[in-house]
Structure 1
Amino acid sequence: MSRLDLFNYICDFAEWVSGRQAVTKKDGALRFGILGAANIAPQALIVPARSHAEVLVVAVAARDRKRAEVYAKRHGIPIVHDSYDALINDPSIDCIYNPLPNGLHYEWTLKALKAGKHVLLEKPSVSNAEEARSLFHHPVLQAPNAPVLVEASHYRFHPAWHTLLSLFDPKDVEEVDVRAAIFAGLFSGEDIRFHYELAGGTQMDLGHYTLTALRGVFQAEPVAVTSATPRLIHEGFDQRCDEAMVASYEFPNGGIGRISADLGARGGYWFPWLTSNWPNFTKDMPSWVSIKLREEKHGRLNGLETVSQKTIVMKNFMGPHVWHRIDIIDTTTWRHPDGRVAEEKKNTESKKAYVWPEGSDVETKGEDWWSTYRYQLEEFVNKVKGRKGSGAWVDGEESIKQMEATDRTYEF
């Protein structure tokens, strides 16, 4: 079984499950068209739309019409257009989902906006900060009743991420590590993610999540990139693209942040002379965030200085709907005047959040089976319909700042 066959099997199973959760569609449901027969679309839109009463996925267009027809049949999409332009200009379509390669995001998103379509734009929003400023500051978005545009940074719409952010004050953050990895072999060197002309590279893909999470924890922009070390895709492929990126940053409060993103994790086992190229199924997988807060000093007792410190670790921040855990580790240390540790105690509390908590000012609490993409779709519809929603959103200025930080990382 090929990787594509396996992926399609997983998508078919997900759609079968979602079919059991399908709901009756309401009048005035938003009609979506998809640009490209993208592998991410079932997970990001088609499956979540099944359970949303105000979303219909009605059309798709691809460079190859036959491929689009096969895709439409597989996913139950009724309309196949001959071109991206034809789909965008279809008057029956309200919204466009743009999961095209990164280098095509700017052109086709702007065309969709000018055609009056709302756009759910796959991350990263565009190829660089210059394009981001041009897109998100474009006059079409400043006009009255402008269409809605959002970067689909899906994990930021899930209650778990907002639960994490509620547990600390960003000014108290001292150190942050954000890591994510995919085992080697899932993506070949020929994958669209590694085409330089199309704005490929791991920092433009998996690295988007690590860097947005780091910036989200500090709630600030880095004042400096202090290191950035790429591992280029292996020989025989486009070595202008990074297969992995490790970088560190300094933030305005003096805090230090580090990221690691790897789309080809290998090794990490015994006998490295034999196993160094074996796919690594454990390292940094699937994703995690570790937040170390500044120490708090509580004076002296019996000649010992009492110090407390909190560390917060979230496991699987990228896919919390599958499983996640937030550990809050409180450490109390008693030290002698010379700095030696006399005693140390740790207490760990764990949290999970699959729906918005009771008491929060959110009209729709969600369901514990909703994916990050389903929460994202909920907020997109709320924004188009002019509703308050949960408050989870990625505005244009945030997307611009993310691309500026990405550019600085590559420029280091």
Structure 2
Amino acid sequence: MGIVQWMNSIAEFGEWAAGRKPVTKKEDALRFGILGAANIAPVALIIPARSHADVIVVAVAARDRKKAETYAKRWGIPIVHDSYDALINDPSIDCIYNPLPNGLHYRYTLAALKAGKHVLLEKPSLSNAEEARSLFHHSVLSAPKAPVLLEASHYRFHPAWRLFRAQFNKEDAEDVESRAGLFAGAFDSSDIRWNYDLAGGATMDLGHYALSALRGAFGTEPTKVTSATARLRDPPYDRCDEAMTATYTFPNGGRGRMSADLGTRGGYWFPWLTSRWPSFRDCLASVTVRTQPQALGSENGLEKSEQKMVKFTNFMGPHGWHRIAVTTTTTLSDPTSGNPVKKTRSTEKKTAYTFPEVTASKGEEWWSTYRYMLEEFVNKVKGREGSGAWIDGEESIRQMEANDRTYEKAGMLVRPTCKELE
């Protein structure tokens, strides 16, 4: 069983364990079609849609119709179209979920928007910044009653991300590190993640989350990519990175570091024996923020200051389990020499599975990041007030710009631009 299929099984078990049954759908529920028989679609849309009265998944299309028919039967999808274009042009469909390979995002997303469909677009939104600027600035999105387009960076919609961001002022972030990894062997050599022409690579996969979280913690864009080092796949896939580490400088002078690895290995005793063994050390993705020391005046003739370290463990999948550990270090220093005289540390651990009562979309404790994202997508389409969580087109463009600059700093080619670019 592949890693994504395993995620689907866990998601289904979670709903069963919570005693959740499919809800009765409303007459004006949004009708979704899925482009491709994608492994990610069940956990990202099909399973979350079961508990949403305003969403029905009604159609799928794939390059291989037999594969689409098998997929439709497995997931209870009533309509199978012969092609992506046929699905997009189906007048009974309101919304398109596009989880196709990255290199196909632009063509089919733009076609769907032109057909008047709202689009939930898998991350990363496009292959590069040029495509992102073309798509998100396209006139179809500024026309009256324009369709909704959302990049599916699902973790940003969960209450835990908002709680994490509330633990520090973004202007005070001094040092931030984000890490995401997957054990070696999770994807075989035929996986599309190693296809350069389809915009593959670790930076386009787990790197999207790691870089997005880094930017989100600082709340702004890096002024410089200080360094970037890629570990490449073996030929003939060596135009794709299996891992990327990069450091960034931010406008407040802060430093950021991201690490994304789709083949994590080693880290055990006896490295001569274990260096090639799969490692699980970063499978629970984390983002850690250390703030600048804040002066708090004086106490008993000593200068008092405070510094925070906030670590969010499992920020990519907080609905399963997560922890936000806030460690506060208070220092009393000699005012003459500046040397510390006394230090005290305290740690508080926090979690959030729903939004506060005052929020319009409070959510349920069992909702996944994808279910929270689907809620906000529907709210936007229906013109309802939601939780306030959203990713606009400019955010998606800036993400791809930072992504491209990282590849360039690593001495690699930016992922190719599609020929359908407008």
Q: Letter of the 2:267 partner, please give it.
A: G
For 1:364, the equivalent position in structure 2 comes to 361
For 2:288, the equivalent position in structure 1 comes to 290
User: Greater CA deviation, 45-54 or 190-199?
Assistant: 190-199
TM score, norm. by length of structure 1: 0.95
Which string of whole-angstrom CA distances, capped at 9 and with x for unpartnered residues, describes residues 290-321 of structure 1? 11111022345556433211111111111110
Q: Letter of the 1:256 partner, please give it.
A: R
The reply to whether residue 232 of structure 1 matches residue 232 of structure 2 is: yes
SS, match of residue 80 in structure 1: strand
Quote the offset at 1:339 in angstroms.
Answer: 4.8
User: Greater CA deviation, 152-161 or 300-309?
Assistant: 300-309
Q: Is the 8 A contact 1:196 1:240 kept in 2?
A: yes
For 1:107, the equivalent position in structure 2 comes to 107
CA 15–310 in structure 1, closer or farther in 2 if over 3 Å, else same: closer
For 1:213, the equivalent position in structure 2 comes to 213
Quote the offset at 1:164 in angstroms.
Answer: 1.1
Q: Letter of the 1:382 partner, please give it.
A: N
Quote the offset at 1:21 in angstroms.
Answer: 2.8
User: Greater CA deviation, 337-346 or 8-17?
Assistant: 8-17
Quote the offset at 1:285 in angstroms.
Answer: 2.6
Distance 2:49 2:2 in 1: 27
For 2:307, the equivalent position in structure 1 comes to 309
The reply to whether residue 272 of structure 1 matches residue 254 of structure 2 is: no
Distance 2:204 2:4 in 1: 22
The reply to whether residue 383 of structure 1 matches residue 374 of structure 2 is: no
CA 189–303 in structure 1, closer or farther in 2 if over 3 Å, else same: farther
CA 298–162 in structure 1, closer or farther in 2 if over 3 Å, else same: closer
Output aligned runs, 1:43-82, within 5 Å.
Answer: 43-82=43-82
SS, match of residue 189 in structure 1: coil
SS, match of residue 180 in structure 1: strand
For 1:170, the equivalent position in structure 2 comes to 170
Output aligned runs, 1:184-263, within 5 Å.
Answer: 184-233=184-233, 235-263=234-262
SS, match of residue 258 in structure 2: strand
Distance 1:123 1:7 in 2: 17
Distance 1:213 1:310 in 2: 18
Q: Letter of the 2:367 partner, please give it.
A: W
Quote the offset at 1:344 in angstroms.
Answer: 1.3
SS, match of residue 403 in structure 1: helix
Distance 1:39 1:384 in 2: 25
Quote the offset at 1:404 in angstroms.
Answer: 0.4
Q: CA RMSD in A?
A: 1.8
Distance 2:291 2:20 in 1: 44
Output aligned runs, 1:132-147, within 5 Å.
Answer: 132-147=132-147
Distance 2:298 2:3 in 1: 61
Q: Is the 8 A contact 2:8 2:43 kept in 1?
A: no
Quote the offset at 1:14 in angstroms.
Answer: 5.8
Which string of whole-angstrom CA distances, capped at 9 and with x for unpartnered residues, describes residues 124-146 of structure 1? 00000000000001011110000
Q: Letter of the 1:280 partner, please give it.
A: S
Which string of whole-angstrom CA distances, capped at 9 and with x for unpartnered residues, describes residues 26-57 of structure 1? 11000000000000000000000000000000
Distance 1:73 1:388 in 2: 35
CA 229–169 in structure 1, closer or farther in 2 if over 3 Å, else same: same
Distance 2:304 2:374 in 1: 48
Which string of whole-angstrom CA distances, capped at 9 and with x for unpartnered residues, describes residues 188-236 of structure 1? 2321111100000011010000111111111111100000111112x24
Identity across aligned pairs (percent)? 67
Distance 1:329 1:7 in 2: 32
Unaligned runs of 5+ in 1: none
Match of 2:398 among 388, 396, 401: 401
CA 134–258 in structure 1, closer or farther in 2 if over 3 Å, else same: same
Q: Is the 8 A contact 2:7 2:43 kept in 1?
A: no
TM score, norm. by length of structure 2: 0.93
SS, match of residue 226 in structure 1: strand
Q: Is the 8 A contact 2:287 2:313 kept in 1?
A: yes
SS, match of residue 20 in structure 1: coil
CA 339–273 in structure 1, closer or farther in 2 if over 3 Å, else same: farther
Quote the offset at 1:166 in angstroms.
Answer: 1.6
Quote the offset at 1:364 in angstroms.
Answer: 2.5
Q: Is the 8 A contact 2:323 2:351 kept in 1?
A: yes
Q: Letter of the 1:353 partner, please give it.
A: A
Distance 1:128 1:395 in 2: 17
Unaligned runs of 5+ in 2: 410-422
Output aligned runs, 1:323-362, within 5 Å.
Answer: 323-336=321-334, 337-359=336-358, 362=359
Q: Is the 8 A contact 2:12 2:47 kept in 1?
A: no
